[in-house]
Amino acid sequence: MISFHEINHHWNYFLAIEKDLENLSRYIEFSENNLQTYSIEIAHILLSSSSEVDVMLKQFCKLIEPSSNPNNINDYKTIILSSGSDIVNQKISINRYGLEYKPFENWITDGENPVWWKSHNNVKHNRNKYYYQANLQNVINSVGALLLVNIYFYEKQFSVNDGKESIGLLETTSKLKPESSFIKIPSEYYYKYLVVRSSK
């Protein structure tokens, strides 16, 4: 007999995109010297991840303000900033390459939309002119933003399901399985497991 449990579709989609990004690292070294490298594959991942960020930000905003009807990134920014969510200050990292970014930092530093978001729009709507903006730095930030939006969306969703105000990010990452393996938020938001070996 086969049994099914609730599937977190957005999380599974993120994991597929994360795997694409990890595979990319076999062909392009994730280093400062290569951050402006651009390619068809990077454009593909950038467009996929940024499009999913758009979908998830809209759903996240509806969880924050159920009566809202956000239509674009500026609406998302207004709702998220007014909610006091710390997603704007949250870091993502790729530890094996020593890379660390804050994908939504622009919302609070200069009030502008993130560079990776603008680049996604440029590549999507005017690729002949802006193809070079489908680069490694933008795609890392875009996939990192998708990780953050997933975690914050599911934290809110799981809290609602459990009838709690907030279950916290630590509990949220423990519920999202399998865990992200390539790109992560800070380590304090993951449970640490101790392996005990018995001696015979």
Please enumerate in sequence order all residues whose Cβ is within 8 A of that of 52, keeping only pairs 6 or more positions apart, or say none: 10, 13, 14, 17, 146
| Least confident range of 86-90, 138-142, 190-194 | 190-194
Full DSSP string of 157-184: HHHHHHT-S---HHHHHHHSSSPPSSSB
Q: What is the mean pLDDT of residues 36-49?
A: 98
How far is residue 50's CA from residue 110's CA, in Å, rounded to a whole number? 21
- Exposure on the CB side of residue 113, measured as CA atoms within 13 A: 17
pLDDT for 53:
98
Whether pLDDT at 180 is above 70: yes
Whether pLDDT at 193 is above 90: no
Q: Which residue has the tokens 């990452």?
A: 173
Question: pLDDT tens digits, residue range 65-101?
Answer: 999 999 999 999 999 999 999 999 999 999 999 999 9
Beta bridge partners, 199, equal none
How far is residue 45's CA from residue 62's CA, in Å, rounded to a whole number? 26
- Please, what's the b/e burial string for 155-168 (b: 16 or more CB within 10 A of its CB; e: otherwise)? bbbbbeeeeeeebe
Contact between residue 42 and residue 135 where contact means Cβ atoms under 8 Å apart = yes
Q: What is the mean pLDDT of residues 173-184?
A: 96
How far is residue 116's CA from residue 131's CA, in Å, rounded to a whole number? 13
Confidence of residue 197 (pLDDT cuts 50, 70, 90): low
Mean pLDDT, the chain, whole residue set: 94
Q: Which residue has the tokens 């949250």?
A: 90
Q: Which residue has the tokens 């905003």?
A: 61
CA 199 to chain centre: 42
Beta bridge partners, 99, equal 94
- Give me the amino acid identity at 164: K
Whether pLDDT at 4 is above 50: no
